[in-house]
Amino acid sequence: MAAVVGLGAGLGALTGMAGPRLDGLARRVVDAVVAFPAVIVILAFVGLRGPSLPAVLGGALLVWWAPFARLTRSLVRTALAEPSAVTARALGASRARLMLREVRPRLAGPLAVLAAVEAGQLVAVVAGLSFLGMGAQPPAAEWGAMLADARGAALSHPHLVLGPGVAVLVTVFALTCVGEGLRDVLDRARLTVAP
């Protein structure tokens, strides 16, 4: 997830700071990546590399960065349109200084919210692909692979299915709740600061 956020935020910041031509081209590329189903890209990557957890995660990196790039680009453009950024630019502030002083403080919260929610979705996708035999391979311990191994004994030994199934469910739910909680806290903080 750190690689996904780093890649997406980096590309989004670059396109947000770029001129209108590069920004328009980058926006179209990001829209195309977001529109394409992530699971299809991951399956294609796994098909090329062979079933393994690194192949699933590599395939996820190919497409999962796009929502972060889209959000970061939007936040950068909004931050640069603020009166403080316009004033700093008029006074001769460099792009690096604008990024450090004006843009960076506005990125952390929204990116953390999106990362928490997307991490839950990534856990679910990785577990699902491992369940189908495309992700982690034995003897690696992964919840989806554990579910696949235990499905034959689900009636006689239900605890073998309940353990990893509940672990995936609780993890995805917890990450989603963390994302929603962060969003609520940030919204309250913004309303408190706003005049």
Instruction: Assign 18 a pLDDT band (cuts: 50, 70, 90).
Output: confident
Which structural domain, as residue segments, surrounds residue 44?
2-193
Please write the tens of the pLDDT for every residue from 19-44. Answer: 788 888 888 999 899 888 889 999 99
Please write the tens of the pLDDT for every residue from 98-117.
888 888 888 888 999 999 99
> How many beta carbons lie within 10 A of that of residue 52, not counting itself?
16
Q: How far apart are CA 77 and CA 17, in angstroms?
A: 7
Res 143 pLDDT > 70: yes
> How far apart (Å, rounded) are the C-alpha atoms in residues 195 and 191?
8
Average pLDDT over residues 125-135: 90
In degrees and rounded to multiples of 5, residue 19 shows phi and psi of: -75, 175
- Tell whether the model's pLDDT for residue 154 goes beyond 80: no
The pLDDT of residue 193 is 57
Categorize the per-residue pLDDT at 161 as very low, low, confident or very high, splitting at 50, 70 and 90.
confident
Number of domains in the chain: 1
Question: Residue 172's pLDDT is what?
Answer: 93
68: phi > 0 → left, psi -120 to 50 → alpha, else beta; which?
alpha
169-187 per-position pLDDT tens digit: 999 999 999 988 988 888 7
Whole-number pLDDT of residue 166: 93
Q: Among 138, 172, 173, 164, which Cα is nearest to 53's?
A: 138
72, 40 contact by CB (below 8 A)? no
Give me the pLDDT at residue 64, please: 92
Q: CATH number for the domain including 47? A: 1.10.3720.10
Largest distance between two CA atoms of the chain: 73
The arithmetic mean of pLDDT across residues 42-52, rounded, is: 91
Give dist(CA 124, CA 167) in Å, integer: 11
Residues 6+ apart with CB under 8 A from 100: none
Enter the tokens of residue 41: 């890209």
Least confident of 29-33, 52-56, 157-161: 157-161
- pLDDT above 90 coverage of the chain, percent: 36
